[in-house]
Structure formats: structure tokens, C-alpha cells
Amino acid sequence: MNPSALELALKKQRLQIAAEGLRMDFGRYAAGLAPAFTGADCAVASARWLRRNPEIVVATGVALLVIRPRGALRWARRAFVGWQTWRKLRNFVERRLTASSRSQ
């Protein structure tokens, strides 16, 4: 093996060892974020379950409307405002992302 190929192989090996150390450090530092990621995973799983079972959401809404109509209407109003806010925020973010991707 010629000296330059040997030198490149050694440099590659040193970089691989350094990368492994960085991955281990990142894993240790990111361990504090695990509860946040667990909560986000739970929220995503719940949203997927609700999308697969919309009849349960409707049945719960009807039951609340029958049992406590005033409270159900109050929550429906809050849900509607939240939904409108979410749509506006999502559109704003999408516009900003497309504008920034065009400028690059």
C-alpha cells in the first residue's frame, strides 16, 4: 500500500472514531429531552387514533351536548377558535417557508 493511501485510511479511521465519540456525547446530552419526545409521541399516537375512530369523537360530543349543552357549546366555540388559529398559523408558516426557499 502506498504511503498516501495509508495516510488516507488512517485519517478515515480517526474521523470514524471521532464521529462515534460525538454520537455518544449527543446521546448523553439529548437524554434530558426524552420526556418531551415521549409526550410528543403520545400526542401523535392519540391524534392518529382519533383519526381512525371519528365515531367516538362524535358520540362524545353528542353525549356532552345532551348532558351539558351550555358547557358543550362553550367548548365547541373554543375548539372552533383553536382550529381557526391553527389554520392561520399553518398558512403563515407555509408562506414564510416558501418565501425563504425562493430567496435561496
pLDDT at residue 45, as a whole number: 95
| pLDDT at residue 63 greater than cutoff 80 | yes
Q: What is the pLDDT of residue 65?
A: 86
Please provide the average confidence, as pLDDT, over all residues in the chain.
90
Q: What is the mean pLDDT of residues 23-34?
A: 88
pLDDT surpassing 70 at residue 37: yes
CA–CA separation, 64 and 62 (whole Å): 5
What residues contact 20, with CB distance under 8 A and at least 6 apart?
none
Looking at residue 104, what is its pLDDT? Answer: 67
**Residue 64 scores a pLDDT above 90:** no
- Contact present, 88 and 94 (Cβ < 8 Å): no
For residue 96, the model assigns a pLDDT of: 86
Please give the share of the chain, as a percent, with pLDDT higher than 70.
98
Pair 72, 65: CB distance under 8 Å: yes
